Amino acid sequence: MSKVFESTMINGMDLNNRFVRSATWEGMATDDGSCTPKLIETMVRLAEGGVGLIITGHAYVTREGQAGPWQLGIYDDRLLNGLHQMTDAVHGAGGKIVAQLAHSGVFADPALTGSNPIGPSAIRGVSKHEIREMTSSDIEHVKSDFSRAAKRAMLAGFDGVQLHAAHGYLLSQFLSPYFNQRKDGYGGPIEGRVRIVLEVLEGIRSQVGDAYPVLIKINTRDFIEGGQELDDAVTAAAELAGNGLDAVELSGGTGLSGKLNPVRTGIREESDEAYFRDAAVAFRERRTLR
């Protein structure tokens, strides 16, 4: 029997198999990010189909981090009721569900957020809007936003959380030398660029404890000139794994990566599948993956 059908455990979270529904943008939330019956139904159908773990669509942890319309939100306590309805329904169908926590950084939509995007550096050419480089105060606010969102996820009954550090979102931007050109302790070599992610993880652990599953989705490569490469991605994941991270999901690409963006099309042969397989081997050798 293939190993993907075997049960497994992530920090106490029992999974019936190793099939994971990766996070997507469903576009089924309300304008303010509230959960809807249609979104709940979608999650329940996944659970009924037998997938071992469901990861929600990227849920924004603060209004200034919203990427697009009808995106799920987890930025305010008033959203808890709808989120709890989602987890109750999924658990009733025998499933497990993790909330993906996200901030879109330089790719935030000012038409939705009401402010210009923020990012590790005020780089040009990635947005039609002026990007503001984050101050130390901004960084502290973002860390707090993530930790409070993780606490909400736990209160809402989610089985764990996943940090979205892929696809050019804010945490991914800090990891990438293309987006992160800072000269302070949050920039430079990978040891500096991973710092905010480590501090976000530390803040989350302070809110949810050590027995609550915390995962991450990370780019193996950005597939853009001057972007994050595999060696740095492995180093970052190893550092996180040594500081309380429970599992890593591999991905790659950004909205600037052309054909190698996160949404791959034209998959017609087996050789086109599993396009992060070689990267997974490198992660496994450093014992960063379960």
Catalytic residues: 169
Q: Are strands 97-102 and 59-60 parallel, antiparallel or unpaired?
A: parallel
The residues pairing with 21 across neighbouring beta strands, listed in sequence order, are 54
* Rounded CA separation 64/114 (Å): 8
Burial 22-60 (b: 16+ CB within 10 A, else e): ebeebebbbeebbbbeebbebbbebbeeebbbbbbbbbb
Is the separation of the CB atoms in 215 and 15 below 8 Å?
A: no
* Rounded CA separation 229/221 (Å): 5
Is the separation of the CB atoms in 70 and 28 below 8 Å?
A: yes
